[in-house]
Amino acid sequence: MKLVFATNNLNKLKEVQVLMPSHIQLLSLSDINCTEDIPETSDTIEGNAIQKAQYIKEKYGYECFADDTGLEVEAINGDPGVYSARYAGPEKDADNNMNKLLQELKGQVNRDAQFKTVIALELNNELKTFTGICKGTITQDKQGDGGFGYDPIFLPKGYTKTFAELSLAEKNRIGHRGKAVQQLIKFLNN
């Protein structure tokens, strides 16, 4: 089975590729010559995932899935949420995003947060969604140099290391995207 993963984020692509069983051939956007930015104009994480999957299906005709992920921080009403990638501006700079969030949380006692990933699958003219959540807290400062995005400041519940300090295998096992991908794989295998 061939499936397009509708992302330009090479880090996400790498995370998901290692989870996919060998009978599913994962194609990237560059594999299908999709070079344009796919619109993400929904005000929900689920809406953006659906929008991206439907865009690829309609414009390119491929069976595909797309994800959208947001970091939801309790003390600031679930922000940055759907705007996580561009929290500090349209240039989508991870360091700037983390710095802004750490500044927003200065003096906050409640640092509870969760990562939420929604995967939307367009397959056989049907749409399915899968949601993965990983609860944790926001650290006081950046720790670790692995991962991407907010990984250096996200401490998953029950762990003493941030996502940026964990191996890819460990992050995939407990993380939001890994949980959503496992649901997707289970569905595809049935």
Active site residue ranges: 68
Beta strands in 106-148 (DSSP E): 112-123, 126-138
| C-alpha span between 180 and 176 (Å, rounded) | 6
Helix pair 176-189, 10-17: axis angle to 10 deg:
50
Question: How would you class 111 by CB atoms within 10 Å of its CB: exposed for 0-12, middle for 13-18, buried for 19 or more?
Answer: middle
Rg (CA), the chain: 16
Question: How would you class 15 by CB atoms within 10 Å of its CB: exposed for 0-12, middle for 13-18, buried for 19 or more?
Answer: buried
Residue 4: its H or E element: strand 2-5
Strands 2-5 and 25-27: parallel
Instruction: Provide the 10 A C-beta neighbour count for residue 156.
Output: 22
**Tokens describing residue 28:** 């990237």
